[in-house]
Structure formats: structure tokens, C-alpha cells
Structure 1
Amino acid sequence: MIGTPNLWAGILIAVAVVGGVGRQWLRHRAGPDGRRSRHWHLAGLVALQVASGLLLYLTLFPPFGGTPPGRLVIATQGAASLPRLSGDLLVTLPEAKPMSGAARVPDLATALRLYPTPGLLLIEGQGLTARDQIPLDRPAQFKPAPAPRGIVDLILPGPLPPGGPFTLQGQVGSLSAGVIELLDPAGALVDRAEVRAQERFSLAASARVSGHTLFDLRLKDRSGRLVERLEIPVVARTHQPPRVLVLAGSADPEIKYLRRWAQDAGLDLRAEIDLGGGTLMGDPPTPLTRSAFADIDLVIVDDRRWETLPPSARAALVQAIEDGLGLLLRSTGPLAATTRRDWSALGAAVSADDPEEAVSFAGSSLLPALALNRKGLIEGQKNAVPLIRDNSGKALADWRPRGQGRIGLWTVADSYALVLAGQGFQHNELWSQLFETLARPGEQQEPNLSGVAWSSERLALCPARRPLRVLDPDGRESRPQPAPATGPAACAAFWPRKAGWHQLADDKVITTFYVHATDAAPSLRQEGQRRATLDLVEASAQRATVKAPPVPGSPWGWAASLLVVLGLLWWLERKPAALAR
């Protein structure tokens, strides 16, 4: 730019050089012929004059030069103290151990802001925590720590209906061989599986009662030593307990144990048992009208009670099904011809005969299969959706839609035998699945937490379309902050301060979710950090290397050269004329 100091200095130096060269030329021309110096002497003087002027300018204003980009080494938890390359800058995040010559920074964003010059990032250790999982502003490499031995992937069960079954799936890390076990809240072994390195596992269990409980997941090596342990939160709840009416034609163990399970699960179940001759037992009678059925979500009728229902009650029941009521037809013995025709007219087309056969049913690898009696009522019914199957694949229950409601057919008359055989959780799973499938639909989805949550770490609650409130185990209230970047998922961010059960509430619903302690599930946390860091590193590959800003070079080299040239110029100017000629 015109007017800058280096420009004016360059002009003055150039004028001085031109003046010096002119003086040498005039001196050469003014001398007698015999005393004139040779042309090489004059050329040397002129060259040294020009060189001295150029070197003076470079000494005063050395040229700019970028420093080599180098690497910014980010040490995370588990990073090893290894020799660094020349030019590396080492910083440690709060989770990493102190290292010699390293600068300690509170987070990754601070490190990137303080050290913008290095053009490459090298991340070492277990990976970036949720606090530091931000877009990287330059290309990066990741040198991960050795893979963990414990549980590196886990899919937690979502909210379940009371008694509902769930499957716990996951994957182990570098453990060569071992066993993974699932224990219920009472400490009883529910399911187990043998696992190998990088192998996935699947364990089955059920939510016994309504509310929230903690199952215990344990990973052991081949010698039986505990490798890792993790609490598995299970929440069994209903928006509104389904209102169920049981119409039975006789008192039998099936009704007894069904009522006991419904009471334990917190369900609203009423049972009316017709003993004949106008004698009823159980709960107070319910009017069998369309308006009364509108307040009920599921009706269970056995074949004996169906035969005694008046035509008006049957017509009201059909109209209620069209409006969304669920109906479960239960066979207790050989069906009468009229009952077979009536059920077929409803849409629950039954087979021509109903032979009784023993079926094998079991849902756990720890318990033997149990023989139940099944009526062959649904053989070959292609228009029905199978609901529950035995171990051989035969349907024990099916359903088909009618209007806005559903009609199901249950062919097992002695499911209570599961309870007597010590497999009550299987009995709970069967009836929970029947109720959940056939009952009138409930409310919309509640805000919920997906995945494992740790204290002092950000988590997402989705969907959060209304303001939410969270109560921690001590009863302190917090307000999750909406996250507009989540788009249609409509999530809210929350930072729990304590481990334990938290209550989540909005203006309509209240649910619970569990927050693990900071040191829980270390292998799962490490694997999550590793995957997130790899994603960030892959995304950073498209970014250009950061160029170092220009900085003035050192003037000392130019100054030394200037002294040498000035010395030669001084010597050559004073060279004896005899040598110059």
C-alpha cells in the first residue's frame, strides 16, 4: 500500500544505491587514463552497492513466512504418554491424566480457540465426551484406546404395559468368552446366555407389576468372575388402566388367576360369573348396553356365558365393537353349534371341529416347556392375524378387525397352569399381550428417554411438545430446555445432577426415567464416545487444512549477510590502485 513505512524506506534505499553507483561511475570517469580501475573492479563495486541496499531493506523488513502447520494433540481419558513429533502442541481435557509439557484446557472448544495455528488434530484416548462432541474446524485423526471388555452396546426396553414381556439386546466388547445374566429385582435369575468377543446377546424377561423396577445385568468371564454390572430400568405403566369386563359362565381357576394378575398389575378388571338360575357372583352386574360398553375397553366372554346372553346384549356388544371396543372370545370346552355360528358371524370364523391337543409353551431358556391344552378352533383361518404361538409355531390366539374394534379368539383354557408350575411371569406375558392388542386404544405417546442416561451428562427427552418439569430423587425441580435443532422429534435437553429415578411431568402425564451414576457402564460409555468421535473425524475430512497466518521472518540472517557485503565493499573501495589495474 502506498504510504507504508517499508515502501518509503525502499524508495530512500533505492535513491541511496543509485547515488552510490553514480558516484562510483563519476569517480571512474574522472580519473586519468593510467589510474583508472579496471572494469571488473567497477562492476564489483556497483554489484556490492546494489547488494548492500537490498540486504539493508531485508534486514529492516524481513519477508513474511508461515510456520509449519504441525498438529494439535488432544488427550482424552485413557490417552497414553507417548513421544510426540517435533512441532506438536499437546493439550489435555479434564478427563485425561496430567502429562508433562501439556496445557490443560476445560473443553475442546477452548483448545481450538486458543490454538488456531496447527492445521491438523490428533485425538488420543477413549474419545470425546458429550461436552466436547462439536464440529471440528480442521482435519482430524483419532487414535483410540484399546477396546473395552464389557458391554459396548445395549438396547433398553421402552415403557411396557404391566406384565408385558421385553427383550434386552446388546453386544460385548473384547471379552474372549463369558456369560451374561439377567436377574429380576428380587435377585432371581431370569435368563442367561453365553457370549464371545464382539458377539450380540438377547435376554427375555417381563415387567411383573405396574411401576418402575431395576433389573440387574451381569457379565462374567469364563471363570465366573464379574466383569461388569449394570442396572436395567424397567417401567411398566398405562396411561389409563384398561377397563376390562369378564363375563364367565362358571367359576374356574382361569378366572381366579386372571383376576389375581390384573389386581397385581393395577388393571381395572370386573368379573361377573353366572352360576345359572339367575345367580351371579363376583363384582356388581354391569348393564349390557351400548352406553355401558362405551365405558369399557375390553370384554372377555367364554362360550358358556355367550349361550346365556340375551339377543339385546349381543346386539349392543356388536355395536360397541364397531365403535372401538375389544372383544376376546374364550373357549372352555366343546363349542355348541349355535355358538360356533354366532362367533363365525361376528368375524371370528372358527374351524368345523375343535379337537383338544396338548401344546408346548415356554419363553425362557432357564425353564422347561410346559404342556397346555389348546382347542383347535383357528386352524386354517387365513383372514386372522396370529397373536400368540406355541413352541412349534401353532397359533394359540388370533384376532381380526371389525369396524374400529378388534375381535380375538383365545383357545387355551388352562393358562393358569403356568402359575402353578412356577412360571407366573409367562402367564403375565400371555394376558398382557392379549390385553394390549385387543383393548381400545389409549392416549398419545408420552415424552420419554431413549438409551442410557448418566448424571452430569446431557440427555434428550422426546417428544417434548409442551413445557416439561423434572423432579430429581431429592424432589428438586428442573425445566428441560427445548432443542429446536431436533426438528420434528421435538426434543428437550436436560442435565441431571443426581443418579436415580426422576419424575417427568407435563400438563397431562407423569412418567419416570432412570439416571445412572457417572461411573456406571464404563464400557458402554467408552464405546459411545469412540463412535461419536469417529463420526466427527469422518466429517472433518472434508475441511481444508488450516493455513498458518503469515509472520515476519528473522532479520538476523539478512543482517549478517549485510555486514559481509559491507565489509567487501569497504575493502574493494580501498584496494590499491596497482591491484585494481
Structure 2
Amino acid sequence: MSTALWVAIALAIIFIVGTLRLVAPGSDGPRQLVAPGSARPLHRTALIALQALAALLLYFTLLPPQRSVEAGQLTVLTGNAALAGNTAADTTLIALPEASAPAGATRAPDLATALRQHPGSTALMLVGDGLAARDRDTALPARTTLQAAPAPTGWVALQPPATTAPGALFVVSARANGVANARAELLDPAGVVIDRAPLDAQGRVRLQGTARAAGRSEFTLRLLDAQQHAVDTVPVPLQTLAAPAPRLLVIAGAPGPELKYLRRWATDTGLEVQAQSSAGGGVMLGDTPVALTAARLAATDVLVLDERSLAALGAAQRSVVAQALRAGLGVVVRTTGPLNDTTRQALRSWGLPASGGTRAVPLVLAADPEAALLQARRGPQRPASERTAYTDDADTASHGAAPPALERFEVNLPGSDALLHDAKGAAIGGWRSVGRGRIALLPVTDSYRLVLSGRDDRHAELWSGVLAQVARALPRAPAIRLPTTPWSGERVTLCDVPDTTRVRDPAGHSVALRVDPATGTQRCAGYWPQQPGWHQLQHGDTAQSFYVFDPASAQPLHRQQLRDATAQRLIETRSSVATASDKTPGPRWPWLLAFIAAAGLLWWLERRRGTA
């Protein structure tokens, strides 16, 4: 029930009790002789009427009647309001804490306080970047507009890389605004540039880096103008987690250099690999022959076949592979020649429809970055046993050579995601999800030529990317859902929070998270980080880290997020119907004075009744 109803019920009960006290037998004390024409019944009636009047006046004192007020506009200054232009002179100016207060403006700790102090304001004008996180949950008037400041100059969007494994490539996506002919540079934690690229027409850029040892690190994304002057920098957090080496099973229809160098790369990388190939006549070369059973495939993360070994599988073996694929196995089919109908039918039965695959065309891989960037991305070289100037020059020359043109078959894979991209950005091969597993087709026949030309790094990059996209997903502990870019000094909402979860800031201070019961099954909790940097969530034996950004070190990015969040909030507000007037509680003091007068008169009559 509402508060008004509870107050009315309480006052009614008090009035009934008081009335019963007056009309009950013996309420007048010892019976006395009363002269004819006595005013005692009239006195009792006056007391009952005054009690009812006092209760009514007290109700309106506590809850005064609503009154209509004319719509008035309230101008609220937010961050960078001075850049948004002049405001109307006949409006009430309120300055929030992040705004500079000009003459005539009144300070307010937050927007909710400003609206409570000016209840007649049904039109609201926001000036500046928009609402901070503390004010976005405030109920806004239906007629709310924004006089925005100019868009910030610098990085306005950032997509940090996801958690990666040591040695893997990671991608940083970002968007800049307000800089013509700009270029972007990605710097490692030591300040060395590892990748650079120009921005496209929309200001977007994608840069790559290589994760090193397991741990948490902070890269830097730098924006340069046409004169190569630094315009803006933003931190790029990267968390690298060590993971068990994938278990690889390679079955080839015939021995060849492609299988040889694939196995060598897998062994040097530390993968648990087992390879075998058929030499004909039932002779198998390589490791111990493996039977494709459900148990063996359950202990495998990636199964690599070629078109000949796939065609040689029996119906029972294909069924076992299909079941393992749906259970999470990754399957890669590489081509050493044209695809026949049997191979295409097997791929279709496994969930990857393919057409074509009979015409070979050249494949030109994407060009390398600059030599200095390539060396910085690779990191320090592994020392040779007998290192000389000649070996160093030869190694540098081979790794600086352009990758050779390879051969691929033109295959159409509808509904699949690209496995690789060539120099022009065209998709090469593809993969699809089947149940909990993934199946891929790699139509490249001679990736080993990369190794023969001295580009073993490109060969490793090619196969590492292929296997990373299809390998069996590792079981992970339930993760707490985090926002994309948490900011220090602003509330962070964390969901799927287990009990007894604690968060530790960079200074080592730990605080327990309390789940809000109102969030239900989402189990969300609020946290206010006061320091930028890496924070760690600890629940049981599971630790999860997240990075908190500093608004001072990424001002354009923070400003743009304020603008976007405010625009979304205004869209939600405009969906309601705007009204020209509003209801607000009337003044309480007339009702209070009338209640005091009625209560005083009631006290005087009660006193006369007691002395009669």
C-alpha cells in the first residue's frame, strides 16, 4: 500500500479510539446532577468534531494536496559546458560538480538534488558533454534536451584485446575523431613501436601485436597527426594466461613436405602432436598407428586430415568423428589436391557444405610490416649454438624477404567464417561451428614453401591462427561479467558474482562485494574503484583480473562515452509523453497552522471538561 493510505488508516484508528473514549458509558466520571438545558451533549459533539478536524488537518500537513505548476526550464551545466556555447539568460542555472560554475549559477552535488530543489522544472536543458554515471539513473523530465559540446579530438572508441595465450597474436581496434591524415601506433610496455597503420575514412584502425609471457601488461595506442605529432594516447590492457598445449592428431593420405613441416612446427611449439601417413599397401609411416575411436578423439583437441585421408575413412569412422565434433572436437581438412565428390559429401555430412575446389590459383599473403616493427613484434631471437656475423646476416635477410606466392584451390563455403585472408583481404577457406566443436577447410596446398624461403615465422603464424580458431575450447571456471571500460571514480556493475567474492585494488586494499538481491539470478554487485590500474577478483581459488581506466589519461574516450550514454538516456526519456504542466506538493504551513489552532481549541475544551 502507499504511504498516504497508511497515514490515513493510522489517523482514522486514532480518531475512532478518541471517539469511543468520549461516548463510552462512564466517560464523564462520577454521575452528577445536571440542570436542564445543560450543554454537555453539545460539548461532547464539539470534541468529536474537533478530533475529526484535527486528524484531517494533520493528514494534509503530512501529505499536502498536489497542485499544478506551469512548466519551467532548468539549465544544468555538465562537463565542458563552456565549450557548448551560451545559454539562455532567463533560465535557472545549476552547475554539477564536474562543470565550471559561471556567475549566477548554483552548485548542486548531483542532478537528482537539482530537480528536487526546483520541482516546477518540467523542461531540462543539459549543457556540455552530458550526464556522469551517478546521474544516469535519475528520472528525467520528458522534455529534456542536450546542448552538446564539440566532439572530442582523439581516441573516441577502443576495443581492448581479449584474454590471450603466450605467443598468440592479438588485435586492437579503435576509432579516432578530429584528426586529418592520422596514423596509429601500437607500443609495447617497453615503449617500442610494434605496429602502425593509417586510419581509414571513418577514423578506424586495427593493429596487431604478439603476446609474450603469461601475466598482465599495458600497451599504449598512440594517435599521430599529419606532421607525426602525438595527439592522444590511451592505455591498452592485455592479460595473457598460460593454457595447456593443444593435443594434435594429424592423419595424411600420403607423406609429403606439407606434413613434414607441419609436424616440425607443432613439435617446436610444444604441442602434443601425433602424426601418421599412409604409404600404400597398408603401410603407415610416422608415429604409432592410431584408431579413430571415441575415446581417442575425446583426448584430442584438433584432428587434421587431408582430402585423401578423409575419403579413405569408412562410414563408422566418419560417424565417430561427427559425434566427437559435436562434443567439442576441432577438425581441420587441408587440401593437397582437387576436391572430389566423396570429400565434398563428407564435409557436407559434418556440417560444412563446400562447392568447387577443382581450380588452383595463386595465393599472395598480406605483406609484412616494416622490418623494425617486425623485429619488435618477434622479440629477442633465440641464440644460435655458433652465432656469427654471417648467420646473423643470413637470418635477417631471410626473415626480411617477401613471402612467396602459394597455391590454393577456389572453394565456396556458404555460411562460414573466413579462416585466412590474402593480401587484398579476400577470405581463404572457412570454418563453422557444429555443436560444441568446429570444422574448417584450409584450401592451401604448399604452406611449407614459407619455411623453405626462410619465412618460418609466417608459416607458424598461418598454422597458429588456423588451429586457434578450431581447437577444442578449454573448460574454464565461471567468470564474472565485467563492463568493457570501467572508469576510476565511477560505479562499476559486476554480474554473476559468487558468494564471498572480494576485489583487490592496485594498492592491495581488499573489499567484499555484496550481491544486490533485487538483481535476481543475474547476481549483480556494485563496486566503486578509486584507483586506475589492474584490479583482481578473488572467489575461492579462482582469480579474475580487470583493468580500470583513468579518465584523466583518456579524456577523449571518457568524454565520448559520456556523450553516447547521455544520448541513449535521452532516447529512453523521449519515449514518454511530454506534459506542459506538472503536479507538485502544495505548501504545508497553512495546514500546520490550522492543525495547531484546532488542536489548541481541542485541548481547551478537554480542559474545561475535566474541571467541570
TM bin, normalised by shorter chain, reads 0.5 to 0.7
CA, structure 1 residues 429+108, in 2 after alignment: closer, same or farther (shift >3 Å)? farther
SS in 2 for 1:449: coil
**Cα separation, 2, equivalents of 1:153 and 1:442:** 31
Q: Would the aligned equivalents of 2:297 and 2:324 in 1 still touch at CA under 8 Å?
A: yes
Q: Which residue of 2 aligns with 1:373?
A: 406
Flag the structure with larger Rg.
1
Q: Which residue of 2 aligns with 1:126?
A: 129
Shift of 1:230: 0.7
What pairs up with 1:88-99 in 2 under 5 angstroms?
88-99=91-102
**Which residue, out of 178, 194, 198, partners 2:199?**
194
Q: Would the aligned equivalents of 1:363 and 1:426 in 2 still touch at CA under 8 Å?
A: no
Q: Would the aligned equivalents of 2:71 and 2:123 in 1 still touch at CA under 8 Å?
A: yes
Shift of 1:519: 0.8
**Cα separation, 2, equivalents of 1:481 and 1:410:** 49
**Cα separation, 1, equivalents of 2:239 and 2:502:** 19
- Return the letter of the residue paired with 2:531: K
**Cα separation, 2, equivalents of 1:506 and 1:280:** 46
Whether 1:252 and 2:260 are equivalent positions in the alignment is: yes
**Cα separation, 1, equivalents of 2:536 and 2:470:** 28
Q: Which residue of 2 aligns with 1:23?
A: none
Gaps of at least 5 residues in structure 2 are 1-66, 372-400, 589-612
**Cα separation, 1, equivalents of 2:430 and 2:511:** 46
SS in 1 for 2:429: strand
Q: Which residue of 2 aligns with 1:524?
A: 557
**Cα separation, 1, equivalents of 2:200 and 2:436:** 45
Q: Which residue of 2 aligns with 1:290?
A: 294
Shift of 1:516: 1.4
Shift of 1:228: 0.7
Q: Would the aligned equivalents of 2:186 and 2:194 in 1 still touch at CA under 8 Å?
A: yes
Map Cα deviations across residues 127-162 of structure 1 (whole Å, 9 max, x no partner). Answer: 221112233454444333332211223344444566
CA, structure 1 residues 505+244, in 2 after alignment: closer, same or farther (shift >3 Å)? farther
**Cα separation, 2, equivalents of 1:406 and 1:295:** 16
**Which residue, out of 110, 114, 131, partners 1:111?**
114
What pairs up with 1:382-401 in 2 under 5 angstroms?
387-391=419-423, 396-398=428-430
Q: Would the aligned equivalents of 2:357 and 2:411 in 1 still touch at CA under 8 Å?
A: no
**Which residue, out of 180, 183, 186, partners 2:184?**
180
Q: Which residue of 2 aligns with 1:494?
A: 527
**Cα separation, 2, equivalents of 1:68 and 1:351:** 71
Q: State percent identity of aligned pairs.
A: 27
**Which residue, out of 457, 461, 465, partners 1:428?**
461
CA, structure 1 residues 470+347, in 2 after alignment: closer, same or farther (shift >3 Å)? same
Shift of 1:325: 2.9
- Return the letter of the residue paired with 2:100: K
Of stretches 394-403 and 358-367 in structure 1, the one that deviates more from structure 2 is: 394-403
**Cα separation, 1, equivalents of 2:432 and 2:105:** 68
What pairs up with 1:556-567 in 2 under 5 angstroms?
none
Q: Would the aligned equivalents of 1:163 and 1:236 in 2 still touch at CA under 8 Å?
A: no
**Which residue, out of 122, 143, 149, partners 2:147?**
143
**Cα separation, 1, equivalents of 2:499 and 2:248:** 31
- Return the letter of the residue paired with 2:205: S
TM-score (norm 2): 0.61
Shift of 1:452: 1.8
Shift of 1:229: 0.4
Of stretches 522-531 and 319-328 in structure 1, the one that deviates more from structure 2 is: 319-328
What pairs up with 1:443-522 in 2 under 5 angstroms?
446-464=479-497, 468-482=501-515, 491-506=524-539, 510-522=543-555
Shift of 1:498: 2.0
SS in 1 for 2:115: helix
Of stretches 513-522 and 539-548 in structure 1, the one that deviates more from structure 2 is: 539-548
**Cα separation, 2, equivalents of 1:213 and 1:285:** 43
Q: Would the aligned equivalents of 1:360 and 1:369 in 2 still touch at CA under 8 Å?
A: no
SS in 1 for 2:563: helix
Whether 1:360 and 2:377 are equivalent positions in the alignment is: no
Q: Would the aligned equivalents of 1:190 and 1:364 in 2 still touch at CA under 8 Å?
A: no
Shift of 1:327: 2.8
CA, structure 1 residues 294+67, in 2 after alignment: closer, same or farther (shift >3 Å)? closer
**Cα separation, 2, equivalents of 1:130 and 1:383:** 41
Shift of 1:304: 9.3
**Cα separation, 2, equivalents of 1:478 and 1:499:** 16
- Return the letter of the residue paired with 2:82: A
**Cα separation, 2, equivalents of 1:539 and 1:470:** 33
SS in 1 for 2:178: coil
Map Cα deviations across residues 243-262 of structure 1 (whole Å, 9 max, x no partner). Answer: 3334575773333334445x
Q: Would the aligned equivalents of 2:112 and 2:135 in 1 still touch at CA under 8 Å?
A: yes
Q: Would the aligned equivalents of 2:413 and 2:430 in 1 still touch at CA under 8 Å?
A: no
Shift of 1:182: 3.3
Map Cα deviations across residues 274-311 of structure 1 (whole Å, 9 max, x no partner). Answer: 79998857xx9977643232222222346899999999
- Return the letter of the residue paired with 1:193: P
**Cα separation, 1, equivalents of 2:447 and 2:361:** 14
SS in 2 for 1:91: strand
SS in 2 for 1:371: coil
Gaps of at least 5 residues in structure 1 are 1-64, 553-581
Shift of 1:359: 0.8
Map Cα deviations across residues 153-193 of structure 1 (whole Å, 9 max, x no partner). Answer: 33444445666666544433333443233345563342412
The structure, 1 or 2, with the larger RCO (C-alpha pairs under 8 Å, 6+ apart) is 1
Shift of 1:454: 1.4
Of stretches 304-313 and 526-535 in structure 1, the one that deviates more from structure 2 is: 304-313
Q: Which residue of 2 aligns with 1:300?
A: 304
Q: Which residue of 1 aligns with 2:78?
A: 76
Q: Which residue of 2 aligns with 1:567?
A: none
- Return the letter of the residue paired with 1:397: G
**Cα separation, 1, equivalents of 2:488 and 2:454:** 42
- Return the letter of the residue paired with 1:128: L
CA, structure 1 residues 391+173, in 2 after alignment: closer, same or farther (shift >3 Å)? closer
**Cα separation, 2, equivalents of 1:505 and 1:484:** 21
SS in 1 for 2:81: coil
CA, structure 1 residues 256+105, in 2 after alignment: closer, same or farther (shift >3 Å)? same
Of stretches 366-375 and 147-156 in structure 1, the one that deviates more from structure 2 is: 366-375
**Cα separation, 1, equivalents of 2:173 and 2:325:** 37
Q: Which residue of 2 aligns with 1:563?
A: none
- How many residues get paired? 474
SS in 2 for 1:224: coil
Q: Which residue of 2 aligns with 1:232?
A: 236
Q: Would the aligned equivalents of 1:372 and 1:412 in 2 still touch at CA under 8 Å?
A: no
